Structure 1
Amino acid sequence: MPADIPPVPAPGAAGRGALSPPGRQVLSDSVYERIKAMVMDHEIAPGARVGIEALARGLDVSPTPVREALARLEADGLVVKRSLSGYRATELLTQQGVEELFEMRLLLEPRSAALAALNADEAQLDSLEAIQEAMQSHPGPDGPYAAYRDFAALDQRFHETVAHAARRPLLTDAVERLHAHLHIFRLSSLPHADDPTAAEHDRVVRAILRRSPERAAEAMTVHLRRSLERQLARLTQE
Protein backbone atom coordinates (compact mmCIF):
# COMPACT_ATOMS: atom_id res chain seq x y z
CA MET A 1 0.00 0.00 0.00
CA PRO A 2 1.52 3.37 -0.89
CA ALA A 3 3.12 5.11 2.06
CA ASP A 4 1.74 8.51 1.06
CA ILE A 5 -1.89 7.60 1.72
CA PRO A 6 -2.81 9.23 5.04
CA PRO A 7 -4.57 6.69 7.26
CA VAL A 8 -8.18 6.99 8.37
CA PRO A 9 -7.92 6.19 12.09
CA ALA A 10 -10.28 3.73 13.70
CA PRO A 11 -12.74 5.21 16.22
CA GLY A 12 -10.78 6.15 19.31
CA ALA A 13 -7.45 5.18 17.79
CA ALA A 14 -5.70 8.38 18.80
CA GLY A 15 -6.81 7.97 22.38
CA ARG A 16 -5.68 4.36 22.55
CA GLY A 17 -2.26 5.19 21.16
CA ALA A 18 -1.81 8.06 23.61
CA LEU A 19 -2.69 5.93 26.64
CA SER A 20 -1.11 2.59 25.75
CA PRO A 21 2.61 1.69 25.74
CA PRO A 22 3.84 0.70 22.25
CA GLY A 23 4.17 -3.00 23.07
CA ARG A 24 0.71 -3.24 24.52
CA GLN A 25 -0.77 -1.36 21.57
CA VAL A 26 0.86 -3.74 19.10
CA LEU A 27 -0.62 -6.70 21.00
CA SER A 28 -4.04 -5.03 21.17
CA ASP A 29 -4.03 -4.31 17.43
CA SER A 30 -2.89 -7.86 16.64
CA VAL A 31 -5.65 -9.43 18.74
CA TYR A 32 -8.20 -7.07 17.20
CA GLU A 33 -7.18 -8.07 13.66
CA ARG A 34 -7.21 -11.78 14.49
CA ILE A 35 -10.67 -11.71 16.03
CA LYS A 36 -11.93 -9.44 13.25
CA ALA A 37 -10.72 -11.97 10.67
CA MET A 38 -12.54 -14.74 12.56
CA VAL A 39 -15.78 -12.76 12.41
CA MET A 40 -15.36 -11.69 8.79
CA ASP A 41 -14.59 -15.26 7.65
CA HIS A 42 -17.45 -16.70 9.77
CA GLU A 43 -15.04 -18.75 11.86
CA ILE A 44 -17.11 -17.07 14.54
CA ALA A 45 -20.53 -17.66 13.04
CA PRO A 46 -23.02 -14.79 12.63
CA GLY A 47 -25.11 -14.61 15.79
CA ALA A 48 -22.74 -16.85 17.76
CA ARG A 49 -21.67 -16.03 21.29
CA VAL A 50 -18.14 -14.64 21.55
CA GLY A 51 -16.53 -15.91 24.76
CA ILE A 52 -13.74 -13.74 26.13
CA GLU A 53 -12.03 -16.49 28.13
CA ALA A 54 -12.22 -19.01 25.27
CA LEU A 55 -10.77 -16.49 22.81
CA ALA A 56 -8.00 -15.57 25.23
CA ARG A 57 -7.04 -19.24 25.58
CA GLY A 58 -7.22 -19.83 21.84
CA LEU A 59 -5.07 -16.78 21.05
CA ASP A 60 -2.74 -17.41 24.00
CA VAL A 61 -3.22 -13.95 25.46
CA SER A 62 -4.77 -12.52 28.60
CA PRO A 63 -8.45 -11.50 28.59
CA THR A 64 -7.56 -7.79 28.61
CA PRO A 65 -6.58 -7.37 24.92
CA VAL A 66 -9.56 -9.55 23.97
CA ARG A 67 -11.92 -7.21 25.83
CA GLU A 68 -10.28 -4.22 24.15
CA ALA A 69 -10.62 -5.87 20.74
CA LEU A 70 -14.28 -6.68 21.30
CA ALA A 71 -14.99 -3.08 22.31
CA ARG A 72 -13.45 -1.95 19.01
CA LEU A 73 -15.40 -4.58 17.07
CA GLU A 74 -18.60 -3.39 18.75
CA ALA A 75 -17.83 0.12 17.47
CA ASP A 76 -17.28 -1.45 14.02
CA GLY A 77 -20.72 -3.05 14.16
CA LEU A 78 -19.30 -6.59 13.99
CA VAL A 79 -20.27 -7.67 17.50
CA VAL A 80 -22.98 -6.60 19.91
CA LYS A 81 -22.89 -6.63 23.70
CA ARG A 82 -26.03 -7.77 25.43
CA SER A 83 -26.87 -7.55 29.09
CA LEU A 84 -26.19 -10.80 30.97
CA SER A 85 -25.15 -12.69 27.81
CA GLY A 86 -21.90 -10.96 26.77
CA TYR A 87 -20.83 -10.44 23.19
CA ARG A 88 -22.29 -12.00 20.07
CA ALA A 89 -21.28 -11.68 16.44
CA THR A 90 -23.80 -9.58 14.54
CA GLU A 91 -26.07 -11.31 12.07
CA LEU A 92 -25.41 -10.98 8.35
CA LEU A 93 -27.43 -8.48 6.42
CA THR A 94 -30.58 -9.83 4.86
CA GLN A 95 -31.71 -8.67 1.43
CA GLN A 96 -33.85 -6.04 3.15
CA GLY A 97 -30.87 -5.01 5.26
CA VAL A 98 -28.69 -4.60 2.18
CA GLU A 99 -31.37 -2.52 0.46
CA GLU A 100 -31.77 -0.30 3.53
CA LEU A 101 -28.01 0.15 3.87
CA PHE A 102 -27.73 1.32 0.28
CA GLU A 103 -30.82 3.48 0.67
CA MET A 104 -28.96 5.37 3.40
CA ARG A 105 -25.75 5.48 1.37
CA LEU A 106 -27.60 6.89 -1.62
CA LEU A 107 -29.00 9.65 0.57
CA LEU A 108 -25.62 10.56 2.07
CA GLU A 109 -22.74 9.77 -0.24
CA PRO A 110 -23.71 11.51 -3.50
CA ARG A 111 -24.11 14.67 -1.43
CA SER A 112 -20.72 14.16 0.20
CA ALA A 113 -19.14 13.65 -3.23
CA ALA A 114 -20.71 16.86 -4.53
CA LEU A 115 -19.47 18.81 -1.52
CA ALA A 116 -16.03 17.22 -1.84
CA ALA A 117 -15.82 18.55 -5.41
CA LEU A 118 -16.39 22.02 -4.00
CA ASN A 119 -14.43 21.86 -0.75
CA ALA A 120 -11.59 19.31 -0.98
CA ASP A 121 -8.15 20.78 -0.36
CA GLU A 122 -5.04 19.74 -2.28
CA ALA A 123 -3.97 17.20 0.33
CA GLN A 124 -7.36 15.48 0.17
CA LEU A 125 -7.29 15.44 -3.62
CA ASP A 126 -3.83 13.87 -3.48
CA SER A 127 -5.11 11.28 -1.00
CA LEU A 128 -8.03 10.33 -3.23
CA GLU A 129 -5.71 9.89 -6.20
CA ALA A 130 -3.29 7.78 -4.15
CA ILE A 131 -6.06 5.56 -2.79
CA GLN A 132 -7.46 5.14 -6.28
CA GLU A 133 -4.07 4.16 -7.68
CA ALA A 134 -3.62 1.62 -4.89
CA MET A 135 -7.03 0.08 -5.56
CA GLN A 136 -6.34 -0.17 -9.28
CA SER A 137 -3.05 -1.98 -8.67
CA HIS A 138 -4.48 -4.28 -6.00
CA PRO A 139 -5.19 -7.86 -7.12
CA GLY A 140 -8.78 -7.65 -5.91
CA PRO A 141 -10.95 -8.89 -3.05
CA ASP A 142 -10.89 -12.62 -3.73
CA GLY A 143 -10.61 -15.24 -0.99
CA PRO A 144 -10.65 -15.11 2.82
CA TYR A 145 -10.47 -11.89 4.79
CA ALA A 146 -6.68 -12.06 5.16
CA ALA A 147 -6.41 -11.92 1.36
CA TYR A 148 -8.83 -9.04 0.74
CA ARG A 149 -8.29 -7.05 3.97
CA ASP A 150 -6.19 -4.39 2.21
CA PHE A 151 -8.77 -3.97 -0.57
CA ALA A 152 -11.55 -3.62 2.01
CA ALA A 153 -9.47 -1.05 3.91
CA LEU A 154 -8.85 0.92 0.71
CA ASP A 155 -12.57 0.84 -0.08
CA GLN A 156 -13.34 2.19 3.38
CA ARG A 157 -10.66 4.88 3.16
CA PHE A 158 -11.88 6.01 -0.24
CA HIS A 159 -15.45 6.62 0.90
CA GLU A 160 -14.39 8.16 4.21
CA THR A 161 -11.87 10.46 2.50
CA VAL A 162 -14.61 11.70 0.17
CA ALA A 163 -16.82 12.29 3.21
CA HIS A 164 -14.08 14.17 5.09
CA ALA A 165 -13.41 16.31 2.00
CA ALA A 166 -17.06 17.42 2.07
CA ARG A 167 -16.22 19.39 5.23
CA ARG A 168 -19.54 18.62 6.85
CA PRO A 169 -18.77 16.90 10.18
CA LEU A 170 -22.28 15.53 10.75
CA LEU A 171 -22.42 14.13 7.23
CA THR A 172 -18.97 12.60 7.63
CA ASP A 173 -19.96 11.01 10.93
CA ALA A 174 -23.12 9.53 9.39
CA VAL A 175 -21.17 7.99 6.49
CA GLU A 176 -18.58 6.49 8.84
CA ARG A 177 -21.17 5.03 11.20
CA LEU A 178 -22.71 2.93 8.43
CA HIS A 179 -19.57 0.71 8.35
CA ALA A 180 -20.76 -0.27 4.90
CA HIS A 181 -17.50 -1.89 3.80
CA LEU A 182 -17.50 -4.30 6.73
CA HIS A 183 -21.14 -5.31 6.39
CA ILE A 184 -20.85 -5.89 2.66
CA PHE A 185 -17.55 -7.74 2.77
CA ARG A 186 -18.95 -10.03 5.47
CA LEU A 187 -21.46 -11.51 3.03
CA SER A 188 -20.56 -15.10 2.27
CA SER A 189 -20.20 -14.57 -1.48
CA LEU A 190 -17.25 -12.23 -1.97
CA PRO A 191 -16.42 -9.98 -4.91
CA HIS A 192 -13.98 -11.37 -7.46
CA ALA A 193 -10.77 -9.95 -8.87
CA ASP A 194 -12.61 -8.44 -11.85
CA ASP A 195 -14.94 -6.47 -9.56
CA PRO A 196 -15.55 -3.03 -11.17
CA THR A 197 -15.40 -1.09 -7.88
CA ALA A 198 -12.05 0.57 -8.67
CA ALA A 199 -13.21 1.71 -12.10
CA GLU A 200 -16.36 3.19 -10.59
CA HIS A 201 -14.31 4.97 -7.93
CA ASP A 202 -12.12 6.41 -10.67
CA ARG A 203 -15.09 8.23 -12.20
CA VAL A 204 -15.89 9.75 -8.81
CA VAL A 205 -12.30 10.91 -8.36
CA ARG A 206 -12.11 12.46 -11.81
CA ALA A 207 -15.31 14.42 -11.21
CA ILE A 208 -14.03 15.69 -7.85
CA LEU A 209 -10.69 16.68 -9.40
CA ARG A 210 -12.59 18.62 -12.06
CA ARG A 211 -14.50 20.42 -9.29
CA SER A 212 -17.80 19.27 -10.77
CA PRO A 213 -20.32 18.63 -7.96
CA GLU A 214 -23.03 17.44 -10.35
CA ARG A 215 -20.77 14.86 -12.01
CA ALA A 216 -19.34 13.76 -8.67
CA ALA A 217 -22.81 13.16 -7.24
CA GLU A 218 -23.88 11.34 -10.40
CA ALA A 219 -20.75 9.14 -10.43
CA MET A 220 -21.22 8.22 -6.76
CA THR A 221 -24.89 7.46 -7.37
CA VAL A 222 -24.06 5.18 -10.30
CA HIS A 223 -21.36 3.41 -8.25
CA LEU A 224 -23.68 2.78 -5.30
CA ARG A 225 -26.59 1.61 -7.47
CA ARG A 226 -24.37 -0.81 -9.37
CA SER A 227 -22.84 -2.04 -6.13
CA LEU A 228 -26.34 -2.67 -4.78
CA GLU A 229 -27.22 -4.61 -7.93
CA ARG A 230 -24.12 -6.77 -7.49
CA GLN A 231 -24.90 -7.48 -3.86
CA LEU A 232 -28.52 -8.39 -4.57
CA ALA A 233 -27.41 -10.66 -7.41
CA ARG A 234 -25.05 -12.50 -5.05
CA LEU A 235 -27.79 -12.88 -2.46
CA THR A 236 -30.12 -14.27 -5.12
CA GLN A 237 -27.48 -16.79 -6.24
CA GLU A 238 -27.05 -18.00 -2.70
Structure 2
Amino acid sequence: MTPQSPTTQPKTALVPRRALRDGVYDAILEKLLDGSTPPGSSLNIDSLSRELGVSQTPVREALVQMEHTGLISRTALKGYRVAPPLSAAQMTELMDARAVVEIAAVERAAPRAAELLPDLRAAHARHVLAAHQVARLRGGEGPPTGYADLRECFTADWDFHLVIIRAAGNHFLAQMAESLNAHAHRLRQSVDHGTFDTAQAVAEHAAILAAFESEDPAAPVAAMRAHLTAIDHRSHAEEDADA
Protein backbone atom coordinates (compact mmCIF):
# COMPACT_ATOMS: atom_id res chain seq x y z
CA MET A 1 0.00 0.00 0.00
CA THR A 2 1.43 3.34 -1.00
CA PRO A 3 1.78 5.68 2.01
CA GLN A 4 -0.19 8.91 1.89
CA SER A 5 1.84 12.01 1.18
CA PRO A 6 2.25 14.04 4.39
CA THR A 7 1.40 17.22 2.47
CA THR A 8 -1.97 16.02 1.17
CA GLN A 9 -4.10 16.69 4.24
CA PRO A 10 -2.85 20.25 5.00
CA LYS A 11 -3.44 21.27 1.38
CA THR A 12 -7.05 20.11 1.39
CA ALA A 13 -7.65 21.81 4.75
CA LEU A 14 -6.38 25.21 3.58
CA VAL A 15 -9.34 26.05 1.33
CA PRO A 16 -12.18 25.75 3.88
CA ARG A 17 -10.09 27.52 6.50
CA ARG A 18 -9.35 30.41 4.15
CA ALA A 19 -13.00 30.56 3.12
CA LEU A 20 -14.04 30.76 6.78
CA ARG A 21 -11.55 33.52 7.50
CA ASP A 22 -12.71 35.47 4.44
CA GLY A 23 -16.35 35.05 5.50
CA VAL A 24 -15.55 36.37 8.96
CA TYR A 25 -13.59 39.24 7.40
CA ASP A 26 -16.61 40.21 5.26
CA ALA A 27 -18.94 40.04 8.27
CA ILE A 28 -16.70 42.32 10.36
CA LEU A 29 -16.18 44.68 7.42
CA GLU A 30 -19.94 45.01 7.05
CA LYS A 31 -20.25 45.94 10.73
CA LEU A 32 -17.65 48.68 10.25
CA LEU A 33 -19.10 50.11 7.05
CA ASP A 34 -22.79 50.02 7.96
CA GLY A 35 -22.20 52.28 10.97
CA SER A 36 -23.18 49.69 13.61
CA THR A 37 -19.60 49.65 14.90
CA PRO A 38 -18.49 53.30 14.76
CA PRO A 39 -14.92 54.66 14.92
CA GLY A 40 -13.34 54.16 18.35
CA SER A 41 -15.40 51.05 19.13
CA SER A 42 -13.52 48.10 20.56
CA LEU A 43 -13.52 44.75 18.75
CA ASN A 44 -13.48 41.87 21.19
CA ILE A 45 -12.36 38.58 19.68
CA ASP A 46 -14.39 36.45 22.08
CA SER A 47 -17.57 38.49 21.53
CA LEU A 48 -17.16 38.41 17.76
CA SER A 49 -16.58 34.66 17.72
CA ARG A 50 -19.79 34.09 19.71
CA GLU A 51 -21.78 36.52 17.57
CA LEU A 52 -20.59 34.94 14.32
CA GLY A 53 -20.75 31.37 15.59
CA VAL A 54 -17.11 30.54 14.84
CA SER A 55 -13.98 29.83 16.84
CA GLN A 56 -11.62 32.63 17.83
CA THR A 57 -8.99 31.56 15.28
CA PRO A 58 -10.70 32.83 12.06
CA VAL A 59 -11.74 36.00 13.91
CA ARG A 60 -8.15 36.64 14.96
CA GLU A 61 -6.90 35.93 11.43
CA ALA A 62 -9.51 38.26 9.91
CA LEU A 63 -8.60 41.07 12.30
CA VAL A 64 -4.90 40.71 11.50
CA GLN A 65 -5.76 40.93 7.79
CA MET A 66 -8.04 43.94 8.36
CA GLU A 67 -5.37 45.80 10.32
CA HIS A 68 -3.39 46.17 7.07
CA THR A 69 -6.25 48.20 5.54
CA GLY A 70 -6.10 50.81 8.28
CA LEU A 71 -9.76 50.22 9.19
CA ILE A 72 -8.77 48.92 12.62
CA SER A 73 -5.75 49.31 14.84
CA ARG A 74 -4.27 47.14 17.59
CA THR A 75 -2.88 48.47 20.85
CA ALA A 76 -0.87 46.33 23.24
CA LEU A 77 -2.96 45.10 26.18
CA LYS A 78 -6.06 46.82 24.78
CA GLY A 79 -6.79 44.81 21.64
CA TYR A 80 -8.40 46.04 18.44
CA ARG A 81 -10.35 49.25 17.89
CA VAL A 82 -12.08 50.74 14.88
CA ALA A 83 -9.84 53.43 13.42
CA PRO A 84 -11.09 56.97 12.83
CA PRO A 85 -12.28 57.84 9.30
CA LEU A 86 -9.77 59.25 6.84
CA SER A 87 -8.91 62.89 7.31
CA ALA A 88 -9.25 65.33 4.42
CA ALA A 89 -5.51 65.15 3.79
CA GLN A 90 -5.55 61.34 3.82
CA MET A 91 -8.48 61.27 1.39
CA THR A 92 -6.52 63.48 -1.00
CA GLU A 93 -3.42 61.29 -0.68
CA LEU A 94 -5.44 58.13 -1.31
CA MET A 95 -7.11 59.51 -4.43
CA ASP A 96 -3.77 60.87 -5.66
CA ALA A 97 -2.24 57.40 -5.28
CA ARG A 98 -5.20 55.79 -7.05
CA ALA A 99 -4.80 58.25 -9.91
CA VAL A 100 -1.10 57.41 -10.29
CA VAL A 101 -1.78 53.66 -10.41
CA GLU A 102 -5.04 53.61 -12.36
CA ILE A 103 -4.05 56.17 -14.98
CA ALA A 104 -0.91 54.11 -15.62
CA ALA A 105 -3.12 51.02 -15.99
CA VAL A 106 -5.48 52.77 -18.42
CA GLU A 107 -2.56 53.96 -20.56
CA ARG A 108 -1.34 50.37 -20.86
CA ALA A 109 -4.79 48.87 -21.36
CA ALA A 110 -5.98 51.36 -24.01
CA PRO A 111 -4.10 49.68 -26.90
CA ARG A 112 -5.91 46.43 -25.97
CA ALA A 113 -9.37 47.99 -25.99
CA ALA A 114 -10.81 45.44 -28.40
CA GLU A 115 -9.76 42.59 -26.09
CA LEU A 116 -11.04 44.07 -22.84
CA LEU A 117 -14.32 45.57 -24.09
CA PRO A 118 -16.48 42.43 -23.68
CA ASP A 119 -15.43 42.05 -20.04
CA LEU A 120 -15.73 45.79 -19.41
CA ARG A 121 -19.27 45.86 -20.82
CA ALA A 122 -20.24 42.88 -18.66
CA ALA A 123 -18.74 44.48 -15.53
CA HIS A 124 -20.57 47.73 -16.27
CA ALA A 125 -23.86 45.87 -16.67
CA ARG A 126 -23.39 44.20 -13.27
CA HIS A 127 -22.63 47.57 -11.70
CA VAL A 128 -25.77 49.10 -13.25
CA LEU A 129 -27.91 46.28 -11.85
CA ALA A 130 -26.34 46.54 -8.38
CA ALA A 131 -26.81 50.31 -8.32
CA HIS A 132 -30.42 49.92 -9.42
CA GLN A 133 -31.01 47.47 -6.57
CA VAL A 134 -29.59 49.92 -4.02
CA ALA A 135 -31.73 52.75 -5.41
CA ARG A 136 -34.84 50.56 -5.35
CA LEU A 137 -34.30 49.51 -1.74
CA ARG A 138 -33.60 53.04 -0.62
CA GLY A 139 -36.78 54.31 -2.25
CA GLY A 140 -35.57 57.85 -1.73
CA GLU A 141 -36.00 57.48 2.04
CA GLY A 142 -32.62 56.57 3.42
CA PRO A 143 -30.17 53.67 3.16
CA PRO A 144 -31.21 50.15 2.21
CA THR A 145 -32.32 47.64 4.79
CA GLY A 146 -29.23 45.53 5.33
CA TYR A 147 -25.80 46.45 4.01
CA ALA A 148 -25.26 43.46 1.72
CA ASP A 149 -26.75 45.21 -1.32
CA LEU A 150 -24.56 48.27 -0.93
CA ARG A 151 -21.51 46.05 -0.46
CA GLU A 152 -22.44 44.23 -3.68
CA CYS A 153 -22.58 47.59 -5.43
CA PHE A 154 -19.13 48.50 -4.10
CA THR A 155 -17.82 45.15 -5.36
CA ALA A 156 -19.35 45.64 -8.81
CA ASP A 157 -17.89 49.14 -8.94
CA TRP A 158 -14.39 47.86 -8.17
CA ASP A 159 -14.74 44.92 -10.58
CA PHE A 160 -15.19 47.46 -13.39
CA HIS A 161 -11.85 49.02 -12.46
CA LEU A 162 -10.23 45.60 -12.15
CA VAL A 163 -11.02 44.71 -15.76
CA ILE A 164 -8.94 47.69 -16.88
CA ILE A 165 -6.19 47.14 -14.34
CA ARG A 166 -5.75 43.49 -15.28
CA ALA A 167 -5.79 44.34 -18.99
CA ALA A 168 -2.72 46.50 -18.38
CA GLY A 169 -0.77 43.26 -18.06
CA ASN A 170 1.37 44.39 -15.12
CA HIS A 171 1.20 42.18 -12.03
CA PHE A 172 2.74 44.82 -9.76
CA LEU A 173 0.30 47.51 -10.85
CA ALA A 174 -2.53 45.11 -10.03
CA GLN A 175 -1.06 44.44 -6.58
CA MET A 176 -0.78 48.15 -5.83
CA ALA A 177 -4.33 48.77 -7.01
CA GLU A 178 -5.71 45.99 -4.79
CA SER A 179 -3.86 47.42 -1.80
CA LEU A 180 -5.28 50.88 -2.44
CA ASN A 181 -8.79 49.48 -2.79
CA ALA A 182 -8.48 47.97 0.68
CA HIS A 183 -7.70 51.43 2.03
CA ALA A 184 -10.65 52.82 0.04
CA HIS A 185 -12.94 51.06 2.51
CA ARG A 186 -11.98 53.80 4.95
CA LEU A 187 -13.19 56.37 2.44
CA ARG A 188 -16.53 54.53 2.26
CA GLN A 189 -16.60 54.38 6.05
CA SER A 190 -16.55 58.19 6.17
CA VAL A 191 -19.46 58.62 3.76
CA ASP A 192 -22.81 59.69 5.18
CA HIS A 193 -25.00 56.60 4.74
CA GLY A 194 -27.94 58.75 3.73
CA THR A 195 -26.26 59.79 0.50
CA PHE A 196 -24.44 57.56 -1.95
CA ASP A 197 -22.74 58.34 -5.23
CA THR A 198 -23.87 55.18 -7.02
CA ALA A 199 -25.69 57.07 -9.80
CA GLN A 200 -22.70 59.33 -10.45
CA ALA A 201 -20.29 56.39 -10.44
CA VAL A 202 -22.42 54.48 -12.94
CA ALA A 203 -22.56 57.50 -15.25
CA GLU A 204 -18.81 58.04 -15.01
CA HIS A 205 -18.15 54.35 -15.72
CA ALA A 206 -20.39 54.63 -18.77
CA ALA A 207 -18.19 57.51 -19.97
CA ILE A 208 -15.06 55.39 -19.45
CA LEU A 209 -16.63 52.51 -21.37
CA ALA A 210 -17.60 54.85 -24.23
CA ALA A 211 -14.04 56.20 -24.25
CA PHE A 212 -12.61 52.71 -24.74
CA GLU A 213 -15.19 52.08 -27.48
CA SER A 214 -14.14 55.28 -29.28
CA GLU A 215 -10.75 53.79 -30.24
CA ASP A 216 -9.11 57.08 -29.26
CA PRO A 217 -6.21 56.04 -26.96
CA ALA A 218 -6.30 59.38 -25.14
CA ALA A 219 -10.03 59.25 -24.38
CA PRO A 220 -9.96 56.48 -21.71
CA VAL A 221 -7.18 58.30 -19.82
CA ALA A 222 -9.19 61.53 -19.75
CA ALA A 223 -12.38 59.71 -18.71
CA MET A 224 -10.67 57.82 -15.87
CA ARG A 225 -8.97 60.98 -14.64
CA ALA A 226 -12.33 62.78 -14.60
CA HIS A 227 -13.90 59.89 -12.68
CA LEU A 228 -11.20 59.80 -9.98
CA THR A 229 -11.29 63.60 -9.65
CA ALA A 230 -15.07 63.47 -9.20
CA ILE A 231 -14.74 60.81 -6.45
CA ASP A 232 -12.23 63.04 -4.67
CA HIS A 233 -14.56 66.05 -4.90
CA ARG A 234 -17.52 64.02 -3.60
CA SER A 235 -15.55 62.69 -0.64
CA HIS A 236 -14.60 66.21 0.39
CA ALA A 237 -18.15 67.46 -0.16
CA GLU A 238 -19.35 64.89 2.38
CA GLU A 239 -16.80 66.12 4.90
CA ASP A 240 -17.66 69.78 4.27
CA ALA A 241 -21.35 69.02 4.81
CA ASP A 242 -20.58 67.40 8.18
CA ALA A 243 -18.38 70.30 9.33
Q: Structure 1-normalised TM-score?
A: 0.80
Aligned residues of 2:191 and 2:235 also touching (Cα < 8 A): no
Aligned residues of 1:116 and 1:162 also touching (Cα < 8 A): yes
Aligned residues of 1:163 and 1:171 also touching (Cα < 8 A): yes
Q: Work out the CA distance in 2 between the residues paired with 1:188 and 1:219.
A: 24
Going from structure 1 to structure 2, the CA distance change for 1:181 and 1:126 (only over 3 Å counts) comes to farther
Between structures 1 and 2, the one with greater helix share = 2
Going from structure 1 to structure 2, the CA distance change for 1:75 and 1:156 (only over 3 Å counts) comes to farther
Q: Work out the CA distance in 1 between the residues paired with 2:240 and 2:189.
A: 16
Alignment equivalent of 1:187, drawn from 178, 187, 190: 190
Alignment of structure 1 residues 1-238 onto 2, 5 Å: 19-20=13-14, 22=16, 24=17, 27-119=20-112, 122=115, 124-138=116-130, 139=132, 140=134, 143=143, 145-179=147-181, 181-190=184-193, 191-192=195-196, 195-238=199-242
Provide the alpha-carbon RMSD of the alignment.
2.7
Q: Work out the CA distance in 1 between the residues paired with 2:68 and 2:11.
A: 17
Q: How many residues align?
A: 221
The alignment partner of 2:196 has SS state of coil
The alignment partner of 1:93 has SS state of coil
Q: Work out the CA distance in 1 between the residues paired with 2:72 and 2:11.
A: 22
- The equivalent of 1:3 in structure 2 is none
Q: Work out the CA distance in 1 between the residues paired with 2:208 and 2:191.
A: 28
Structure 2 segments unaligned to the other structure (5+ residues): 1-9
Q: Work out the CA distance in 2 between the residues paired with 1:211 and 1:72.
A: 40
Runs of 4+ more than 6 Å apart? none
Going from structure 1 to structure 2, the CA distance change for 1:18 and 1:84 (only over 3 Å counts) comes to farther
The alignment partner of 1:110 has SS state of helix
What one-letter code is carried by the residue in structure 1 that aligns with 2:218? E
Q: Work out the CA distance in 1 between the residues paired with 2:78 and 2:212.
A: 47
Going from structure 1 to structure 2, the CA distance change for 1:79 and 1:207 (only over 3 Å counts) comes to same
Aligned residues of 1:28 and 1:68 also touching (Cα < 8 A): yes
Aligned residues of 2:40 and 2:81 also touching (Cα < 8 A): yes
